[in-house]
Homo-oligomer: A and B are copies of this chain.
């Protein structure tokens, strides 16, 4: 799959996003010699945790302050190129949509300038009391809105 012009533009935009480095170790690979397909969801979650910390709404704080937390509602993953043992990957994370009770993130995994994996992750805000979807507290919403890419 040849990265389209649209994709190049997207990656360029992602320059302005949060960067997170991941080294590929044995635990991440499988007998096919490549990174196991489920493990990219681990990489993007690590990056997402640091992303939320950076934009001022880390997991722990929002639990304590508002008794809410984020859960993943859906993950879409396109596997473009394989990654290998010892590769140094980079995850770039940005927010592409903000709604009342959810937010959609774009998270791509790159190896230098090559796109390895392209994901779209929808996270929803739920009450810790009953696990139901709730409106995001306005501080959280503002944090997402401020860094949203359009």
Determine the distance from Cα of A71 to Cα of B83 in the docked complex, in whole angstroms.
Answer: 13
Q: What is the total number of copies of this protein in its complex?
A: 4
Q: Does A67 contact B (CB under 8 A)?
A: no
Contact-residue size bin, chain A (C-beta under 8 Å from the other chain): 35 or more
Given A25-B42, A25-B45, A30-B31, A86 and B74 contact (CB-CB distance below 8 Å): no
**Among candidates B26, B34, B49, B78, residue contacting A74 with C-beta atoms closer than 8 Å:** B78
Whether the Cβ atoms of A25 and B49 lie closer than 8 Å is: yes
Q: Is A29 an interface residue (CB 8 A)?
A: yes
Chain A residues engaging chain B, CB cutoff 8 angstroms? 23, 25-27, 29-34, 36-39, 41-42, 45-46, 49, 59-60, 69, 71-79, 82, 84-86, 131
